[in-house]
Amino acid sequence: MTKPPAHPRIVFMGSPEFSVPSLQALFAHYNIAGVVTQPDRPAGRGQTLTPPPVKVLAQQLGLPIIQPPKLRLPEAMQQLGDWKPDLIVVTAFGQILRQEVLDLPAFGCVNVHASLLPRWRGAAPINAAILHGDQQTGVTIMRMDAGVDTGPLINQRPTAIEPGETALSLSGRLAALGADLLVESLAGYLSGELSPQAQDESLATYASMLKKEDGELDFRLSAVELERKVRAFQPWPGTYTHWQGATLKVQQARCIFDPAKEARLSPGERTIYQGLPAICTAQGLLVLDELQPAGKKPLAGKIFLQGARNWL
């Protein structure tokens, strides 16, 4: 393997909040030659042009930044070449890296991925782990190849998924865990002490990108499955049902089993459980602890019922 330079030049590629701890950790230990992130995009009700969180941090750290809409653009490739990276580190960047980028640094491109690969390759591993009831997940440091999260593994660290944990809270924990493992692993990787190991293809699963319409709750499923979906899709794309001809967002929910009450109801039928709105499912009741009616702020379930005269 190529002898590691005394002070390796690293280019960082990342965009969302999940990427921020990795950039912070790298900056504390390595020479960051430049940062590549997504373009500023409209956000919020006013659709204000908003920079990605990585750009905000990179500006605070005084790092050079480029925001190419496509990495393959000649000017983006020119800048990457000018930075002369020994290594590129990627954490939730949001664009596919072509082979010419993968081949550019002597030590390749290393990715921080929010699952224990080969389980949950793809765009939404955190959501998938909660949605499918996994007891644990973790972070993987891998050397990237041309496939989607198929490259050889450098290091991994597991963590339990806590009861009631949402994708938002789990993402924050995994971002910090990934940043720590990245810095811990890089010295060994660059020196050759940590040798990347091929993934076991027979264990591979795929977590596809989520769409807004994926958030609709199907009460032909069990309350256990739906409760996991509410947590897995928080904060995005969110979960919802329909009431009085409008969308009713479900922010927090839990699964309750009440065989006597369930026997009188059909899946999708609304009821009240201990003063809270609830909906019968294929198995169990989904109790709605927090909801958001169309055009209104989120409400506690009991408060919602006070104004929901036609809930039943």
CATH number assigned to the domain comprising residue 238: 3.10.25.10
Q: Cα(154)–Cα(195) distance, rounded to whole angstroms?
A: 6
| 51 and 129 part of one domain | yes
Q: What pLDDT does residue 207 have?
A: 97
Amino acid at 178: G
Q: Give DSSP secondary structure letters for 211-225.
A: -GGGGB--TTS-HHH
| 201 and 97 part of one domain | yes
Q: Cα(110)–Cα(169) distance, rounded to whole angstroms?
A: 25
- Residue 282 burial class via C-beta count within 10 angstroms: exposed 0-12, middle 13-18, buried 19 and up: middle
| 194 and 161 part of one domain | yes
- Residue 134 burial class via C-beta count within 10 angstroms: exposed 0-12, middle 13-18, buried 19 and up: middle
Question: Whole-model pTM?
Answer: 0.95
Residues in a beta bridge with 144:
none
Cβ partners under 8 Å of residue 272, min gap 6? 278, 305, 311, 312
CB 140 within 8 A of CB 182: no
The range of the structural domain enclosing residue 222 comes to 212-307
| 266 and 121 part of one domain | no
CB 102 within 8 A of CB 146: yes
Backbone phi and psi for residue 257, each to the nearest 5 degrees, phi listed first: -110, 120
| Listed residues 207, 230, 254: the one ending a domain | 207
Map tokens 């990457």 to a residue: 80
Q: What pLDDT does residue 43 have?
A: 85
| 249 and 265 part of one domain | yes
| Listed residues 180, 207, 234: the one ending a domain | 207
| 141 and 110 part of one domain | yes
| Listed residues 207, 240, 268: the one ending a domain | 207
Reference 129, options 170, 91, 177; nearest CA is 170
Q: How many domains does the chain have?
A: 2
Task: Write out the chain's pLDDT in tens, 312 residues.
Answer: 567 787 899 999 999 999 999 999 999 999 999 999 999 999 887 889 999 999 999 999 999 999 999 999 999 999 999 999 999 999 999 999 999 999 999 999 999 999 999 999 999 999 999 999 999 999 999 999 999 999 999 999 999 999 999 999 999 999 999 999 999 999 999 999 999 999 999 999 999 999 999 999 999 999 999 999 999 999 999 999 999 999 999 999 999 999 999 999 999 999 999 999 999 999 999 999 999 999 999 999 999 999 988 899
CB 285 within 8 A of CB 255: yes
Residue 104: inside a domain: yes
Residue 312: inside a domain: no
Residue 243: inside a domain: yes
The strands making up 31-36's β-sheet, listed across from edge to edge, are 65-66, 31-36, 9-14, 87-91, 109-113, 136-143, 153-160
Residue 70: inside a domain: yes
Report strand pairing: 299-300 vs 270-273.
unpaired
| 41 and 92 part of one domain | yes
> Per-residue b/e over 228-265, b at no fewer than 16 CB within 10 Å?
bbbbbbbeebbbbbebeeeebbbbbbbbbebeeebeeb
Residue 117: inside a domain: yes
Residue 54: inside a domain: yes
- DSSP, collapsed to helix, strand or coil, labels residue 110 as strand
| 183 and 287 part of one domain | no
- Which H/E stretch holds residue 292? strand 285-293
Q: How far is CA 180 from CA 23, 26, 146, 242, in A?
A: 11, 9, 26, 43
| 194 and 232 part of one domain | no
| 202 and 220 part of one domain | no
Q: What pLDDT does residue 44 have?
A: 81
Residue 2: inside a domain: no
Residue 62: inside a domain: yes
| 167 and 27 part of one domain | yes
CATH number, domain of 21, equals 3.40.50.170
| 50 and 155 part of one domain | yes
Residues counted in the chain: 312
Q: What pLDDT does residue 4 have?
A: 74
Backbone phi and psi for residue 218, each to the nearest 5 degrees, phi listed first: -105, 110
